[in-house]
Amino acid sequence: MRGVYERMPQLSCPVITIGGTNGKGSTAAMLESIYRVAGYRTGAYFSPHLVRYNERVQLNGEEATDDALCAAFAEVEEARGDVPLTYFEFGTLVAFLLFSRAHVDVAILEVGLGGRLDVVNIVDADVSVVVSVGTDHKDLLGPDRETIGREKAGIFRAGRPAIIGFDVSESVVQEARRLGAQARIGGRDFRYEDSGSGLRFTGVRGTLDLPYPPLRGGYQLANASCALAAAEALPALALTARDLREGLQAVRLAGRFQTLPGTGARVVLDVAHNREAAQALARTLGEQGVSGRTLAVVGMLRDKPVAEVFEVLRGSIDAWFLASLDDARGADAAFLDDALQSVGVVAEGLYDDPVSAYEAALECAGPDDRVVVFGSFKTVGAILASRDDRRGGGGGGRVV
């Protein structure tokens, strides 16, 4: 991969690489918003997408156009020669190429899977962040949090800042030391608290009182603190307190406890698909509160810890609408139903796709009820796409 990249225009700007089991997309979006509000030209690489591939590659908060993406794919195809590339490797090189051509001031890269062997890691980041460590992708990353943590810490570089979040394994800290990175550890070198009126962040430069980011959930304060610590560790791009405040307020990210506008039952979309994310979703559902019932629309991939997710959330959900996912890795509704029954819950219904399950849930929901859609980017993306179709296109996707 590095050999193909070296045949192409190189990134010449500061790079921030963000990994972790959960929270890396939110942290990346916050950093992108902060730098863009400050007047810097930003390039941000996200994965996966919800509705359109274009969501993955953003320049100054705008999705890359079809024409720009197609031209970049053609250029990567020519540069690769006889080197075989996976879908994600191809797309990552396309993002790097577009960022280079746009002469961005900062590139913010979300790791796709793990860290050490992820293609994003061919670039030596100026600042690296591991937001959290959970037990997703055990088949690829290892059997436990300690092994997975070491894999995620593979994005750290000797002599460069390594931001280590609040929910990580000890192996992340150990690997940072082994690599010779400048570890900045959440709870020791930076910290946060909910002041009651906003986020109070304390870093190496002192304490700042900032507004709540508009992303719902108390866990987003931890993500915001990782973003702020990363920005603090990159003095080459100066930021004012005003940049930080306005940047946090301006961030938008679809599918992270996103409440849809409209009358009738409240609709919440969340891409939670592992145990740790399900725990965060359960807490946030409790914090939000609802006078009526909570109905769940769920579609998941077969390789996710389905029964564990259901066990975590069963006390937060009153009725379950299970959907098959049309994907090579997708679980069918019967598979989900077996997992739900294993935790002692009976589903309200089984459906061929997320949109059918969503429509059934809305029909059953009263005005005081809440419908929460979760389990996969594909599940949330299907609902956003269906809303786009009814409005004649536009909207949906990642909102920045």
Q: Give the per-residue pLDDT at 392.
A: 57
User: Beta partners for 330?
Assistant: 301
Of 323, 302, 337, 311, nearest to 373 by C-alpha is 323
Give the whole-angstrom CA distance, residue 78 versus residue 82.
9
Q: Give the per-residue pLDDT at 139.
A: 82
User: Beta partners for 320?
Assistant: 296
* 274 touches 22 (CB < 8 A): yes
* H or E, element range at 202: strand 199-203
Q: Give the per-residue pLDDT at 400.
A: 24
SS3 357: helix
CATH code of the domain made up of 258-391: 3.90.190.20
* 41 touches 104 (CB < 8 A): yes
Q: Give the per-residue pLDDT at 391.
A: 61
Q: Give the per-residue pLDDT at 7.
A: 95
Give the whole-angstrom CA distance, residue 158 versus residue 176.
8
- pTM comes to 0.93
CA angle 229-54-300, nearest 5°? 80
Q: What is the largest CA-CA distance in the chain?
A: 60
Per-position pLDDT tens, the chain of length 400:
899 999 999 999 999 999 999 999 999 999 999 999 999 999 999 999 999 999 999 999 999 999 999 999 999 999 999 999 999 999 999 999 999 999 999 999 999 999 999 999 999 999 999 999 998 888 889 999 999 999 999 999 999 999 999 999 999 999 999 999 999 999 999 999 999 999 999 999 999 999 999 998 889 999 999 999 999 999 999 999 999 999 999 999 999 999 998 888 999 999 999 999 999 999 999 999 899 999 999 999 999 999 999 999 999 999 999 999 999 999 999 999 999 999 999 999 999 999 999 999 999 999 999 999 999 999 999 999 998 766 654 443 332 2
| Mean pLDDT score of the chain | 94
* H or E, element range at 4: helix 2-5
Q: What is the DSSP letter of 190?
A: B
Ranges in the chain annotated CATH 3.40.1190.10: 2-250
The fold adopted by the segment(s) 2-250 is: UDP-N-acetylmuramoyl-L-alanine:D-glutamate ligase (3.40.1190)
Strand 258-260 versus strand 266-269 pairing type: antiparallel
* 295 touches 322 (CB < 8 A): no
CA of 190: how far to CAs of 34, 118, 185, 232, in Å?
18, 27, 7, 10
Give the orientation angle of helix 275-288 with respect to helix 219-232, to 10 degrees. Answer: 110
Residue corresponding to tokens 């929460």? 372
Ranges in the chain annotated CATH 3.90.190.20: 258-391
